[in-house]
Amino acid sequence: MVNQHITQDGFSALEQELARASFGPLAADEAADDASADDFAARTIAGLADIAGNPHIDSWRDKLDALKSRNAIAKPLRPCGRLTRAAGLVLEAVGLKMGVGSECMIELPPGSAIPTAEAEVVGFSGDKLFLMPTTETGGLLPGARVFPLESAPINDPMAGAKRLPVGWEMLGRVVDASGRPLDGLGPLGAKVDAPLSAPVINPLNREPIHKVLDVGVRAINSLLTVGRGQRMGLFAGSGVGKSVLLGTMARYTSAEVIVIGLIGERGREVKEFIEQILGEDGLARSVVVAAPADVSPVLRMQAAAYTTSLAEYFRDQGKHVLMLMDSLTRYAMAQREIALAIGEPPATKGYPPSVFAKLPALVERTGNGPEGGGSITAFYTVLTEGDDQQDPIADSARAILDGHIVLNRSLAEAGHYPAIDIEQSISRVMTSIIDDKHLERVRLFKQMLSRYQRNKDLINVGAYSSGRDQLLDRAIAMYPRMESFLQQGFREEAPFEPSIAMLNQLFE
């Protein structure tokens, strides 16, 4: 563009160039001969005055001014590709080179509710990119333009990995999988962000689990004691009380920060969990990431990774974090949807191999940090389809977690809450964090409970006569008290020390 800067004498640089073109040789000679500067300036101004009235010059000036205004509103050139195929959940695009996990915008036709749809690159084959939409794509046309989405992070604008906001400003807030607030309380005001993935922690650098974590549930505190930094699973079918148990732990667990991920659950349950189960006191020290069942599978997986990133941030600040994720099964199902859509073959009951690789990669990010630092104690709910404990996801989760708590539908139907099946549940770090007396009481309790359950049918029909089995006689006498011990009200708190005292009283 030609510089339109106005000189001190009121003429533009363009007019001065025209003056030099008209009087060039004469002006150059006079300047070279060191002629009078005043005389030269007077003649130049007079020449410019004559040119100012020239219609050709005025016409060119108008055209240049018009080009200048158009240049001011012109957008820079952007690389773009084109959609070539849309089949099921996956879109195919050509003409772009983007990494897996990158985001892009797809142009929608005029008149659509939104001008563009967002999508994420989930794979490629040769020059074709496989895209998974994360927003509504109604009205999408063949050949629609695809633009890379550039989002500069807060800390490092040159970073390529996707980063989302974290920080202390997030406490008390409810956000979606992309870090946008859902609670209507205004912008987050976060000054820090973090990538969705994190480097692997050397297992030898982790602090061992050696401290008890009080979760406020009597049955867990006394019989399935949880250590700070442990990863536990809550295994149950639908409607057995997983969310209620999570809410109880969120209110009463002795953790400094709570991070909750609601992944793939019903939209109604999100508000219900926050207002009725978590409550104001629980929310004040919590961050909630919500990705209901009706959002894209890409966003459901992103929400799980974002929940873990938030917990990692607070752990790195030296805090003891309680992370609750409901549910790990929905995360696996989201990965199954994506993998099958891009052509990965199923392996075990419809689940492709990538699902079983993603689960440990997510779970291993939690746990204790370096010696003297923070910790993440994680509880993952695992939905067992048809109450089948041999479900592929349940079986895989049991192998990678540090313990499992099984909720029994029969107990729930009998009004026994929390419906924890003590016989099928276990805490793998319990023996290293409790004393010998406590461990002996737990062994006796399980022995009595198991003896009663194995002979329950005989006892109910009156086929067992007292005196035949001394241990069973004792179990029958103790069972009402043991059953009462295992039950706890939804709003009732059971700290660790009183729970151990009640366990000891059962055998005194």
Domain at 121, CATH number: 2.40.10.170
Does 454 lie in the same domain as 492? yes
From 148, 173, 206, give the residue that closes a domain.
Answer: 148
Going by pLDDT thresholds of 50, 70 and 90, the confidence category of residue 40 is low
Evaluate whether residue 294 is within a structural domain.
yes
Does 225 lie in the same domain as 117? no
- How many angstroms separate the CA atoms of 400 and 413, rounded? 30
Phi, psi of 43 (to 5 degrees): -65, -35
Quote the pLDDT of residue 51: 57
- How many angstroms separate the CA atoms of 433 and 436, rounded? 10
From 104, 119, 148, give the residue that closes a domain.
Answer: 148
Evaluate whether residue 17 is within a structural domain.
no
CB atoms within 10 A of CB 249: 25
Decide if pLDDT at 498 tops 60. yes
Does 116 lie in the same domain as 260? no
Among the residue ranges 135-144, 145-154, 225-234, 449-458, the one predicted with the least confidence is: 145-154
Give me the helix-helix angle, 496-506 and 436-454, nearest 10°: 60
What is the pTM assigned to this prediction?
A: 0.79
Phi, psi of 83 (to 5 degrees): -75, 135
Query: Degrees (nearest 5) of the Cα angle 208, 214, 219?
Result: 110
Element (H, E) at 26: helix 13-32
Evaluate whether residue 345 is within a structural domain.
yes
Does 217 lie in the same domain as 126? no
Evaluate whether residue 71 is within a structural domain.
no
Going by pLDDT thresholds of 50, 70 and 90, the confidence category of residue 363 is very high
Asked if residue 255 lies in contact with residue 320, where contact means CB atoms within 8 angstroms, the answer is yes
Quote the pLDDT of residue 3: 43
Does 332 lie in the same domain as 188? yes
Evaluate whether residue 58 is within a structural domain.
no
Does 461 lie in the same domain as 420? no
Q: Would you give the distance in Å from CA 284 to the centre of its chain? A: 19
Does 485 lie in the same domain as 392? no
Does 305 lie in the same domain as 212? yes
Evaluate whether residue 44 is within a structural domain.
no
Burial class (CB in 10 A: 0-12, 13-18, 19+), 53: exposed
Does 177 lie in the same domain as 139? no
Evaluate whether residue 87 is within a structural domain.
yes
Q: How many helices (H) and strands (E) does the chain have?
A: 16, 19
CATH number at residue 498: 1.20.1270.330
CB atoms within 10 A of CB 219: 21
Q: Where are the alpha helices (DSSP H) in 168-241?
A: 218-223
pLDDT in tens, 201-253: 888 989 999 999 999 999 999 999 999 999 999 998 888 888 888 888 888 88
**What one-letter code names the amino acid at 108?**
L
DSSP 373: S
Does 315 lie in the same domain as 188? yes
Evaluate whether residue 382 is within a structural domain.
yes
pLDDT in tens, 365-411: 999 988 888 999 999 999 887 666 678 899 999 999 999 999 999 89
Q: Would you give the distance in Å from CA 181 to the centre of its chain? A: 13
From 410, 433, 456, give the residue that closes a domain.
Answer: 433
**What one-letter code names the amino acid at 142?**
P
Q: Residue 493 sits in which domain range?
A: 441-506
Among the residue ranges 77-91, 146-160, 431-445, the one predicted with the least confidence is: 146-160
- How many angstroms separate the CA atoms of 161 and 101, rounded? 8
Quote the pLDDT of residue 52: 57
Does 478 lie in the same domain as 341? no
Task: Count how many domains the chain has.
Answer: 3
For the chain, how many residues are written?
508
Give the SS3 label for residue 266.
coil
- How many angstroms separate the CA atoms of 258 and 225, rounded? 19
Asked if residue 226 lies in contact with residue 232, where contact means CB atoms within 8 angstroms, the answer is yes
| Distance in angstroms between the alpha carbons of the first and the last residue of the chain | 94
Mean pLDDT score across all residues of the chain? 84
Does 350 lie in the same domain as 454? no
Element (H, E) at 286: strand 286-291
